[in-house]
Amino acid sequence: MGSFASDLRHRNLEILRSRARREARQGVVIAFGAIVAATLGVCFYEQGQITLAGVVSAQHDNPALWVLNLTALVFPLWGQYASRNLMQHANAMVHHETEELRQRNDQLEREKAFAATHDPVTELANRALFYDRIDQAIRGRHGKPGTLAVLLLEVENLKEIQDALGPVSADTILRQLAIRLLECMSGYDSVARLDSRTFAVMPAAVADRDQAEHAAHRLLKAMEPPFDVQRLKLTLHTSVGIVLFPDHGDDPDTLVQRAGVALYMAQKSNDGFAVYSPSFDEHSPRRLTLMGELRQAIERNHLELHYQPKADIASGTITGAEALVRWRHPKFGLIMPDEFIGLVERTRLVRPLTQWIMERAFADCRRLHQQGLDLTVAINLSAKDLHDPELPDRIVGVMAKTEVRPEWLIFEITESSIIVDPDRVLNVLERINGLGFGLSIDDFGTGYSSLAYLRKLPVNELKIDRSFVRDLAEGDKDDVIVRATVQLAHNLALTVTAEGVENARTLAALRDCGCDRAQGYHLSRPVPLGSLMEWLDRGEWQVRRHPSPVVGA
């Protein structure tokens, strides 16, 4: 670049210098022409004719021609002076512009190098740079005691946020997330964004597994406060997978791949993080198999609905049941929803799965009422369902097909599904409620923002999350939370159902708190419809029944 610019500058200066010399020569020619013309004019004026003797006499005797003769000398001298000044100015200008071009070129090279190694949204290191840092860290650790940790953090609900609010809002959240990661880690830690919703951290000072888990705790803690975007407070669902060098691998590819396996297991863990174990590897091919067979499982009715009853606490009467999906896999047996619901969302099968569940649950509900059982059936809806404007129309279609009454069914929604684009969700819920179906907020207390919209939502029921119910009989602070929640719900004319009731002591504590309904293993585990009906017939609990035959069922 420097040699080319120097050659270009010298070439341009030579062009300017030759042009200046040419202009000076033209001035000299003009000066001589003027002298000749003036001399001939004076000669003709004085002698009436032009002769050589008259020309010599005019030059000898006329002072004005002497002055004019000097211009022939002035023009070359002035041309050289002007040429020198022009060259100096031109050289300064060309040098300045060349320096600006060089600086701009250096800046573009730096920007190009930065873009090749950094994420354009968060400006964190990208996958290539992070792998290089892992490789350098491994080289530096060989032969030395201690370990090296790699942590992967994934935002599970980022796609839902992007679908609801758009890519600009999602990028805003990603930038906020990157700032939190940098703030909670030290300046010597490596932080990177590996793909659309996965971030990676390599702490600089981790001596053992306990310190790696402590770093994971810090990451998850940093993600807990809501993220502000478009005047909304959004909660990110995050998990962390951990691997250690040299225990789990000795190269970047192996470490990151196994951290991904640990991340998958972390998503099913109550802790929110998991350290890689060789036993996890059996889940990787299993997960790939499940992802490839999900659609066929829906189309071929390999799924089942199990029902967990709900009881009125005051009367001890069974009033309804919640429909919970299971997958009867030909190789792996009965698979719980925690293992495949996340895969459903990643493979865009939420809509066909919800359609299958509705058709089966509506048909089972009709069967219950045909048997004279006055029970409600609750169906869970995901966040993606609530952002589908066609959902109410699909519900109407299934209702017409199965001939059920809307008051026999309740749709359950989670807190987290409300806070993403609440206006759109509210519109869908109002349409569903307008059809006569009940609505319930599931897992209440685990979110951050639904209280702001609770009074606006057309809901009939509020379900307290099992995490507040589990230790209720132990006299924990959960008692205060449950009582406050029950009072809040009753003030809003909502029925309160407690999940996770596993013993008689918890049921008695809920009765003291004024809770309306209970659901949990103390009543029954989720069972297929036939088993539920047999359980009801045994009479362990009273059952709400129709006083007369059900018309249309």
Residue ending a domain, among 117, 141, 157, is: 117
As a whole number of angstroms, the distance between CA 480 and CA 486 comes to 10
Pair 126, 193: CB distance under 8 Å: yes
DSSP-assigned letter for residue 545: B
Q: How many domains does the chain have?
A: 3
Residue ending a domain, among 277, 308, 333, is: 277
270 domain-assigned: yes
Residue 365 is predicted with a pLDDT of 97
Instruction: Say yes or no: 272 and 294 in one domain.
Output: no
Pair 164, 424: CB distance under 8 Å: yes
CATH number of the structural domain spanning residue 202? 3.30.70.270
DSSP states of 223-288 as a string? H-SPEEETTEEE---EEEEEEEETTS-SSHHHHHHHHHHHHHHHTTSTTSEEE--GGGGGHHHHHH
346 domain-assigned: yes
pLDDT confidence tier of residue 302, bands split at 50, 70 and 90:
very high
CATH number of the structural domain spanning residue 441? 3.20.20.450
Instruction: Say yes or no: 96 and 183 in one domain.
Output: no
Instruction: Say yes or no: 191 and 73 in one domain.
Output: no
Residue 458 burial (10 A CB sphere; 0-12, 13-18, 19+): middle
The mean of the pLDDT values for the chain is 84
Instruction: Say yes or no: 386 and 490 in one domain.
Output: yes
The residue among 203 and 419 whose pLDDT is bigger is 203
Instruction: Say yes or no: 382 and 238 in one domain.
Output: no
**Domain hosting residue 436, numbered range:** 290-542
Instruction: Say yes or no: 309 and 452 in one domain.
Output: yes
Q: Which of 364-368, 445-449, 463-467 has the highest mean pLDDT?
A: 364-368
Instruction: Say yes or no: 262 and 336 in one domain.
Output: no
122 domain-assigned: no
Q: Which residues on neighbouring strands pair with residue 150, listed in sequence order?
A: 243
The candidate with the shortest Cα–Cα distance to 432, out of 461, 462, 394, is 394
The candidate with the shortest Cα–Cα distance to 199, out of 121, 285, 85, 97, is 121
22 domain-assigned: yes
In tens, the pLDDT along 121-158 reads 999 999 889 999 999 988 887 666 668 899 999 998 88
Residue 449 is predicted with a pLDDT of 47
Instruction: Say yes or no: 322 and 447 in one domain.
Output: yes
Pair 357, 323: CB distance under 8 Å: yes
Instruction: Say yes or no: 452 and 325 in one domain.
Output: yes
In tens, the pLDDT along 334-357 reads 999 888 887 787 667 889 999 999
Residue ending a domain, among 117, 140, 160, is: 117
Instruction: Say yes or no: 79 and 206 in one domain.
Output: no
pTM of the model: 0.63
